[in-house]
Each structure stands twice: as structure tokens, then as C-alpha cells.
A and B are shown apart, each in its own frame.
Chain A
Amino acid sequence: MTFYSPVITNAKEAATNEKLHLFKYVEDPDQPKIETYESRGGYQAWKKALTSMSPDEVIDEVKKSGIRGRGGAGFPTGVKWSFVPKASTKPRYLICNADESEPGTCKDRVLMERDPHGVIEGMAIASYAIGCHLMFIYIRGEFGHGAEVMRKAMDEAYIRGHLGKNIRGKGYDLDMIVHTGGGAYICGEETALLNSLEGERGMSRIRPPFPAIEGLYACPTIVNNVESLATVPHVINRGAAWYCSLGTEKSHGTKIFSLSGHVNRPGNYEVELGFPLRSLIYDPAYGNGIRGDRKLKGVIPGGSSTPFFTPDMIDVKLDYESLAEAGSMLGSGAVIVFHEDTCIVWAIKKLIHFYRHESCGKCTPCREGTAWLEKIINRIEAGKGEPGDIEKIENICENILGRTICPLGDAAVMPIQSAVKHWRDEWQYHIDQKKCVVKSEFAF
């Protein structure tokens, strides 16, 4: 049996490094089978939570671990769980957000395809903690294979009594639905995801009310990323203190970084938070340097929605605080590397096309603004830029930022603002000379 996706991981390192846990078995084709998963201690955390901990104790342990949302927003997972109103008599729902579509990000797919029971176990523990009896995993529609693997794993989990009625005789019932999307980036935003799961168009909702109070079917709902949930069994098994010993003082644990673009070894790498960005790009065990021995031009550290770094900025640690301090964000952990032959206007043209296409159209600044930005950026790229276009771009960006219901507007703007700031001369050259400083022609 071979893997569906040929993506490179650092599973070998994870197998011998006690600190790494998410990727330990992702190169073993048997790991998706429940017998294999169980033989390696799988579902013991679920057993421990259900039989020896109260829901509040589970929430406390996850809170203490300090794990933060790995989908992009970085909100503390345990704190989110504690927002579910205890007195509410409505059903509660847990949704695993597997609508992975932030450009550059391809980590949740690996977890689903190669260690699906780890995801289900984390979902079960989270469900128990918030008092949910029906949990969902919302998988992006294109991940048909991942959904198939998850469904098969779910069926096995029912048969082995990890899901279903009266689990382990404790009187706790838990059902699961694997739900697939229809190819809309916006549905990774939690309120749009809720609408989509309800059968509506995937448009975001105004908050408050927050999903923890009024989410799916207007009931308390927790939406967590795949990687966040896959971490939960490890926290329960080994304790919050162990998890806090990983990473930096403030950013605890490990993170999977999806490394793509102009590196010699693109792949998914689990490292401790605080790992040096330079090492991720240049170390032979990870990115192994820039393709074709070119010079580095820029790096997006946290998915296409986060601001660029220039080469002089890459001596930074990959953790929430360090990246924010350096002017960008950890985001989803998608590191995209650009070498010197990349025209920045060309790169931004690709990105703005994406955001314009994916804007749900609900908020005027995002709907109209992304369309205007695309029009202006396209004309600059085509050598038809006009004096004042850079200022227009800046002005439109400022008028989108912070003025939309969901973060898609901000996400569209942040890489553009930083690209204009860092490479303003190049934009000006493009307008004045009606051509690229360097033509982005990449053979495949």
C-alpha cells in the first residue's frame, strides 16, 4: 500500500524525538487502521477522559496546556471550550474544521489521510468536555480521499465502541457525521462554515453571538481546527505540564509547518514552536535551501494571508509572539518561500485573484475592494499601470482593513500592504518601465 499523497514529512525525526507527537506514525501506511492505532496507545486518552475525568477537568487540562488554535486565529482552545454556557439546555455541537484552504497550507490533509483516528479521538474528547453528543468534521470538498479515510476510521471507531451509545458503559452517547464542502475558502471561517453546514450559502455571520453561544442550528457550538484537536489526546495522556514544557515560554507545544514554494524540499514538518525560520528553510532535514541556488527574495510565514518577510527578517523564531513582534503572524503555519526570480507584482496578482474569487460578497469593502485591487494590480502587471496606482492600492487596502464581518478582508489586504511596503521600488519600476524587474517564468 502506498500513500495517496506523496508529500514529504519529518516522521523519521518525530519517531525518535520524544517532543514531537503529531507526526510519529504518519509514514506508516498501517496507522489509519484502528488495530494499529490502538496498539500504539490510541484511544487511551479518550478512555482516560471518559472514565476518570469530569468534563470540567478535561477543559482545565486543555486550558493549562496553553494550546492555541492551529487553523490560523490562534485562540486558546481550552478557553474557547469554556465559553459553552453550562446552563444551556440546547444540544451542543463540536465541529472539526477540516476545510483546509489557506494558500500554502496542506497539513490537516496529512493528519486526516495518515492518522485519522488521532483526529477522531481528539474530537471525542472535545465533545465530552463541552457536553456534545453529535460531532461533525467539515472537510473541504476536494479532499474526497481524506473524507473516505475519515469515514472508514469513523466506522471502525463505532465498531470498537469508541463512538455510539453508552460508550464504555458510562452512559455517554456520541455520534459523528463526516460532512464535505463545495470548494469555498470562506467556509474555513467558522461562521461561514456554520451556514454552509446548515445548507445555506457559505457567508459569514456577525459576531456576537459567538458560535459557543449560538452556533450550528442556533445551539452552542465549538469549531476547532484538525491539528488542534489531534493534539488533545496527547495533552490528556501526558498532561498539561508535559505540553507546557514544549515550545517557548508563551507558545507551548509543537506546530506543523507546511513549507512550499522555492525550497529544495517542500514538505510538512512538525517542530517545536520557537523553531528558527532560517533553519526550516535552509536545514537539509527540512527545506534544504533555495531552489537552483538562487537568493531568497521573501517569505510569507503563516499562510497567504500574513505579511511578507524580507531576507533580513528571517532570523525569527516560529512562535506566536516572535512572529507578531516581527510584523507578521503564525497563522496556519504555511511558510511560502520566494526566490529572487519572482516578480512581486506577479505574486500579488495571483493572491488578489484568489481573494477576489473567494470573497463571499456579503461586505461591500471586501466584495468591491478586492475587485478594484485585482483590476489595478492586473493592469500594473500587464505594463499598463498609471501614476498614482500604488497610492490607490494603499488607500483601498486601508478601507478594507477592519471593516468587514469576517477576517477575509483583512487576509486579502495584509500581504499586499507588506508587499508594497517592502518592494515599493519594484512596484514603481513596473508602472514607470511598464515591465517586471524580473520575469517570473517557472518551468515545471
Chain B
Amino acid sequence: MILTDENIRRMKDAAARYPRRKSAILPALTIAYRQVGHLNDDIYREISRAIGIPTLEIAEAATFYTMFPKEPVGKYLIQVCHNISCSLLGADSLIAYLEDKLGISKGETTSDGLFTLISVECLGSCATAPMMQINHDYYENLTPESVDSILEQLRAEA
């Protein structure tokens, strides 16, 4: 079993809350993603058992939504917004800066497994650009100095 008993229970609760159980797919995927950090077929099977919806339907929905990585990523998933408002305020150079600091290219994970760097579509934080999301938190109005201290802090916490 990958999912914790507590999370299985939360998924069952979600399924009971909606008029139709199938609506609990996204909540269940979110719970699983927050626990594991990514999704895969084994997880879809466990969700299926938890909420009583066929595995295929779980996978069908999950593969539509890009927010959930479908393979393992680093402990910290750095998601830099590359859409227009962030780009106007330097998203391209922010990505290049992170690539340089982490010694990886976009799409890669550092060899110590700590950081995966990707760029993503608009995160709805346009007036505090440029910005990035690391796991589930937003980091906004970024500068080289703030990026340095964020990475330092994460390394210290890891």
C-alpha cells in the first residue's frame, strides 16, 4: 500500500460528501499527490478501491490534469510561471538563473534528488511577477537575492 490509512479515509469521506461518488476523483488525486508527490497506476488502483470508481476512470481523469506529475520528481518541484506577465518581468532569465544555480536544465532533477525544475502556465499571480511555485507554495516578486535565500532555506530544511 502506498496511501496512508488516514488518506484512504479522507478519500472515502470525500466520496460520501458529493451527490455522486465520481466527483471525488479530483479530491482523491489531490490527496494522493500531496502525500506521494506524483501519481501512477498503482496509486490509481488504490484510489479506485477507496472511492469505488473503476481504475480506468481514475486514470482517464488524472491524465487530463497537468498539475499532477505522473512520475517521481525531486523533493522540491520548482514550477516557474513562463506565461506572458511573468515573461515580461523576466521569467526567461529566472529560469536560466535557476538552471545555473541548480546545475540542471529545465525538465531535469538534481543528482541529489532535491530539486526538479519545470516551467508551467499562468499560476494567477500576475501582479507579483515573476513567480514560481515550489511544491504547494507560491514565491512571488522574485529577485536573484530572494531566489538564493529560498534555495538555501530549502536545502537547510531537506
Q: Do A and B bind each other?
A: yes
Interface residues, chain A, CB within 8 Å of chain B? 4-8, 91, 100-106, 108-109, 134, 140-145, 177, 179-185, 196-202, 217, 258-262, 266-268, 304, 334, 336-338, 342, 347, 350-351, 354, 357-358, 360, 440-444
A268 close to B127 (CB less than 8 A):
yes
**Beta-carbon nearest neighbor of B57 in chain A:** A199
Q: Does B7 touch A at the CB level, under 8 Å?
A: no
Which among B13-21, B103-111, B148-156 touches the partner chain?
A: B13-21
**Beta-carbon nearest neighbor of A187 in chain B:** B65
A350 close to B64 (CB less than 8 A):
no
What sequence of 0s and 1s flags, for each residue 13-35 of chain B, a beta carbon within 8 Å of any chain A beta carbon?
Answer: 00001111011111101100000
* Smallest CB separation, B106 vs chain A (Å): 14
Residues of A close to B136: CB separation below 8 A? 144
A201 close to B20 (CB less than 8 A):
no
Residues of B close to A103: CB separation below 8 A? 83-85, 121-122, 126
B133 close to A142 (CB less than 8 A):
yes
28 residue pairs bridging A and B, Cβ less than 8 Å apart: A4-B138, A5-B140, A140-B124, A142-B124, A144-B137, A145-B137, A181-B26, A182-B62, A182-B67, A184-B66, A197-B23, A197-B26, A200-B61, A260-B88, A260-B126, A260-B127, A266-B129, A336-B88, A337-B88, A347-B87, A347-B88, A350-B82, A440-B87, A441-B92, A441-B93, A442-B88, A442-B93, A444-B143
What sequence of 0s and 1s flags, for each residue 53-72 of chain B, a beta carbon within 8 Å of any chain A beta carbon?
Answer: 10001001110111110000
**New contact pairs (8) apart from A141-B67, A182-B64, A354-B83, CB-CB < 8 Å:** A140-B124, A142-B138, A177-B18, A180-B27, A182-B66, A196-B26, A360-B64, A444-B143
With contacts A199-B22, A444-B97 taken as known, whether A100 is within 8 angstroms of B124 at the C-beta atoms is yes
User: In the bound complex, how far is the Cα of B13 from the Cα of A142, in angstroms?
Assistant: 22
* Smallest CB separation, B129 vs chain A (Å): 6
From A6, A106, A200, A268, name the one whose CB has the most chain B CB atoms within 10 angstroms: A106
B121 close to A106 (CB less than 8 A):
no
User: In the bound complex, how far is the Cα of B26 from the Cα of A357, in angstroms?
Assistant: 20
Q: Does B74 touch A at the CB level, under 8 Å?
A: no
* Smallest CB separation, A286 vs chain B (Å): 11
B68 close to A443 (CB less than 8 A):
no
* Smallest CB separation, B124 vs chain A (Å): 5
User: In the bound complex, how far is the Cα of B133 from the Cα of A315, in angstroms?
Assistant: 37
A105 close to B124 (CB less than 8 A):
yes
User: In the bound complex, how far is the Cα of B116 from the Cα of A154, in angstroms?
Assistant: 35
A442's partner among B57, B68, B89, B140 (CB-CB below 8 A) is B89
B124 close to A336 (CB less than 8 A):
no
With contacts A180-B26, A217-B19, A444-B142 taken as known, whether A261 is within 8 angstroms of B88 at the C-beta atoms is yes
Residues of B close to A104: CB separation below 8 A? 84-85, 122, 126
Residues of A close to B50: CB separation below 8 A? none
From B20, B83, B94, B140, name the one whose CB has the most chain A CB atoms within 10 angstroms: B83
B122 close to A354 (CB less than 8 A):
yes
Residues of B close to A337: CB separation below 8 A? 88
* Smallest CB separation, A441 vs chain B (Å): 7
